[in-house]
Structure 1
């Protein structure tokens, strides 16, 4: 069998699924995407696209559109919660290209999803397909949908998110644990904050029990923020539950006036609970495998959730292209390569949750001193293994 004889059915039309299909097509593999929704939708929130993801997006044809819809921040800036003192300020901009060979972008999630969908040939995107069953056989895989359609392909890939139907069909449903944090997100028209003269950079304010992140998206027309707050209990894992701006302001009482002014400028905010999904022991069964949030949903404390899903698709395409005659072996190779890396990044995100929210005291002072030495996350020295990685280049063993 040649690469061009291979067919892959990708279940899920989010950022990870669409990027995977485009990487598969770029490798010469016949790929189709099956999405349960009647139309593609993404939440109104920003996303950070680090060089390890942007190099793949450029490779599959999105460089021109990313230059238009994205914002390239000049720095990653971590600041103290009350007085605004700089804890760490890392050059991005051209420095990221020089160091890692690809740029760092801030993008609106809906804009990135639309760009990926526009790049995929229309006949390869199938909406209104809710998965009901998946099966793997010696010579094929099958996906069955609620509309009566059955799709047969050489491989089926579950890119269907944290509530993955493909994962549930292959393995037990995971049991995420509440992290003790909730997050509020908001978007503000940039001209509403023009008087603050905010620089084009990603800023994280670190403080006792909370942290606050903000940056521009949509070519600089919108200002995105996410505030993460310690809380004892939460039940739903949803991105779309309305929140109260007054509650966010109350949680950031005593914080720097700039933080409070940004929060107070938003018209509406949405809140969700942050749940920890432990790394899975395996992703694949025969000719069926998983990708992105379906197998490694990440906490947002290292801004790598979408990036790792995009990496998954590039690695999957490379593994299938390298062994078109043995799809199960190719999927196992993909799993062996990707699972340790994504588990490592998940662990870094979990560690950052604790580090970002330290109360003032000896541990916080030690953290700040370490950051001043440039030896923690977001310094180039520390982040190079993540940002410098090319997921399409397979290790020799």
Structure 2
């Protein structure tokens, strides 16, 4: 389909929305991004861009920009929570040397994408809060201020609490997983290396990795508990609550927790993958289509994959409807599989005695005798290249 002069409106200026806007503008479409915030910005937190996400950024011509603003990951290290002793080291340089894994500050990735979007000619309109979207031959967007607008195609990249998803799918109630997570950044005055370190404890775990030029550490701490927290990344909490929940964590983990001065807390909920990803001039991507738990670090990477697949499907197809079918076929099964993998991954880090000791011994043996296999067990996620399909 020739996208020249087709008018596309993307709702949401997050990672997936900005990537989709750029990719579609590059293919000749006239793209407008509607963002409800007063500026394109992001909360102060880190994320991991794994090789499948790197492939999309490279295809966008942004691979070198990513490398400049991120830390290249050298290893993933699993550790015991109390003493910090090493249980398993997955050496990415040695056993995945052809791949690139990066730790990046979310704000830096957003800025990188926003700059590319502006350079490409995409119109970005801020303070545009969407209330509803009506699918149809000319889908209509209703704004909270009473205004409305139309486009040839509307793309919902508006995240977990999407206003676009209900235009395509019945509303479904999320299910609390029995887990909450804290997110914080602290100075890297311990001079920790460019590794993702996972401290495994009973019913909880802590992940840390460096950001920026290595001067900052990103912390994500997950705990099993019955009391739920609001499903929001912006809900503040007292650092003392985090330290109390992880009081048994010593060594480097304990030292990092002592440095936390400001922390965000959110509840982890399961949402079903959307049944319908696009029809009648409306499509959804990223968390709007498939919210995922953070335990495989794939939220941003899946959004980048979606953005590329949607743009590519539109360019290859003869009509909007054919493109929507191709897009959903291309993405739904993969996203569902990754979401399930993330859902099932947390318990491995949360084992309690007496199971934790033998499980850690098995990990040590596997790391000693089959390190390549341990690194490659998730190749189906990380070696996937959406741009090569």
Deviations 1:55-89 (A, max 9, x none): 21122132232222101121111112223232322
- Let me know the Cα RMSD of the aligned residues: 2.3
Gaps in structure 2 of 5+ consecutive residues:
none
Partners of 1:314 and 1:97 in 2: how far apart? 25
> Which of residues 317, 321, 330 is equivalent to 1:328?
321
Q: Which runs of 5+ in 1 are unaligned?
A: none
Separation in 2 of the partners of 1:365 and 1:257?
22
Aligned to 1:272: 266
Equivalences for 1:227-238 in 2 at 5 Å?
A: 227-238=221-232
- The 2-side partners of 1:356 and 1:151 are apart by 48
Distance 1:46 1:318, change over 3 A: same
Any idea what the Cα deviations from partners look like across 1:179-233, whole Å, max 9, x if unmatched?
111111111122xx2xx34222111111110100001112212111111111112
Q: In structure 2, how many angstroms separate the alpha carbons of the residues matched to 1:250 and 1:3?
A: 55
SS, match of residue 197 in structure 2: strand
State the Cα distance separating 1:334 from its structure 2 match.
0.6
> Aligned residue for 1:116?
113
Does the residue aligned with 1:17 lie in a helix, a strand or coil? Answer: helix
Q: For residues 125 and 340 of structure 2, what CA distance do their matches in structure 1 show?
A: 35
Pairwise CA distance, 1:338: 0.7
For 1:365 and 1:339, how far apart are their aligned partners in 2? Answer: 37
**Corresponding residue for 2:179?**
181
Residue matched to 2:384: 389
- Secondary structure at the aligned position of 1:3 is classed as coil
The alpha carbon displacement at 1:176 in A equals: 1.0
Distance 1:155 1:96 in 2: 40
Distance in 1 (alpha carbons) for counterparts of 2:195 and 2:164 = 38
1:151 to 141, 149, 152: 149
- The within-5 A match list for 1:38-117 is 38-93=38-93, 96=96, 98=98, 100=99, 103-117=100-114
Q: Answer whether contact 1:90 1:378 (CA < 8 A) is retained.
A: no
Whether contact under 8 Å (1:204, 1:213) holds in the other structure is yes
The answer on 1:254 being equivalent to 2:248 is yes
| Alignment check: 8 A CA contact 2:76 2:91 kept | yes
Partner of 1:215: 209
Please tell me whether residue 357 in structure 1 is matched to residue 350 in structure 2: yes
1:346 to 2:339 alignment: yes
Q: How far does residue 123 in structure 1 lie from its aligned partner after superposition?
A: 4.8
Task: Give distance in 2, aligned partners of 1:377 and 1:155.
Answer: 45
Shift of 1:363: 6.4
- For residue 125 of structure 1, what is the aligned residue in structure 2? 124
Structure 2 CA distance, aligned partners of 1:172 and 1:354? 30
**For each residue in 1:277-330, what CA deviation from the matched residue of structure 2 results, as whole angstroms up to 9, or x when unmatched?**
12222222322111011111111100001110110001001100101x311110
TM-score (norm 2): 0.92
Tell me how far apart the structure 2 counterparts of residues 78 and 317 of structure 1 sit (CA, whole Å): 38
Cα pair 1:51 1:96 within 8 Å, conserved: no
Cα displacement (A) at 1:378: 9.6
Q: How many residues align?
A: 385
**Larger mean Cα displacement after TM superposition, 45-54 or 252-261:** 252-261
* Distance in 1 of aligned mates of 2:233 and 2:373: 26
The question of whether the paired residues in 1 share the 8 Å contact of 2:180 and 2:229 is answered with: no
Whole-Å separation in 2 of the counterparts to 1:390 and 1:15:
18
Work out the CA distance in 2 between the residues paired with 1:27 and 1:361: 57
Q: Report the Cα distance in structure 2 between the residues aligned to 1:176 and 1:279, rounded to whole angstroms.
A: 11
Superposed displacement of residue 372, structure 1: 4.1
Q: TM-score, length-normalised on structure 1?
A: 0.90
The one of 145, 158, 161 aligned to 1:160: 158
The Cα shift of 1:11 comes to 0.8
Q: Is contact 1:70–1:217 with CA below 8 Å preserved after alignment? A: yes
Partners of 1:380 and 1:106 lie apart in 2 by 18
* Cα distance between partner residues in 2 of 1:197 and 1:123: 41
Structure 2 CA distance, aligned partners of 1:361 and 1:130?
Answer: 52
Q: Distance in 2 between matches of 1:25 and 1:70?
A: 26
